[in-house]
Homo-oligomer: A and B are copies of this chain.
């Protein structure tokens, strides 16, 4: 699954079917069961990552989630990351930058939210907005946007060198699926609050966004900080795929349980005495 989803040099977003389920044979029921079955493994690896940091380990994980509105980023946070110990997760949803944030380089607010050692950091949107919406809606000059791809590469390279594994995921939905999900928000009084008329405006730039994603993913998918493009029309598949990618990332880190920094037998005696 990992290889199928990884964006290599020949990556083509247009060639990816948002409704497909690469690397998984079953349907929704099997997919949900697989997700439930994988939670324990992920949780144990997260605990190991956290435990290592208590013993001085520097390693952390950064999961970057990008995707069009309604692509299911929140669902990933809840159903995949939500299965691990919350105190080992730092989650940040990046909104339109504040006036304060706008005064700084686009990476300034990103740096402030990076995961500490032992943590899994989750970015719901990220520095990639500065080469996506900024490119599509002309929020920055073309020249400024051009410069950012290189800045992002250097930034992520620095992260990796300092011990943070970087996992970048684009949740790829179809325009039709987005329509269905937006209509659902309009059909349910308890979902009105999630609906934003601005989303329909963005939707009219669909093709431009796809082009901007194609460029961003192609230029910034590296061996050390690869992009994975996850078909996301089927929520259950997207969740299973991200769980798989996150688990694989943690497995690659070759984590180990810290040795006891105390005399185990002596502590047992102290406990029984008290």
Contacts and interface: CB of A to CB of B under 8 A. Distances in A.
A87 B91 contact: yes
B200 A271 contact: yes
Per DSSP, chain A at the interface is helix
A65 to B, nearest CB: 12
A211 interface: no
A262 B195 contact: yes
Interface string A185-211: 010011011110100100110000000
A24 to B, nearest CB: 25
A257 to B, nearest CB: 5
Interface in A99-148: 124
A274 B203 contact: yes
Interface residues of A, number: 44
A183 B273 CA distance: 12
Interface in A24-65: 44, 47-48, 51, 54-55
Interface stretch (A3-11, A78-86, A160-168, A240-248): A78-86
Contacts of A124: 87
Interface of A: 44, 47-48, 51, 54-55, 74, 77-78, 81-82, 85-87, 89, 91, 93, 124, 179, 182-183, 186, 189-190, 192-195, 197, 200, 203-204, 257-260, 262, 264, 267-268, 270-272, 274
What are the 6 A-B residue pairs with the smallest beta carbon separation, nearest first? Answer: A51-B193, A192-B260, A193-B258, A190-B257, A197-B262, A77-B86
16 contacts: A51-B190, A55-B193, A77-B85, A77-B86, A82-B82, A82-B86, A86-B86, A86-B89, A87-B91, A186-B271, A192-B258, A192-B259, A192-B260, A193-B258, A197-B267, A200-B274
Given A77-B87, A192-B259, 9 more contacts: A44-B190, A48-B190, A51-B193, A51-B194, A54-B193, A55-B193, A74-B85, A192-B258, A203-B274
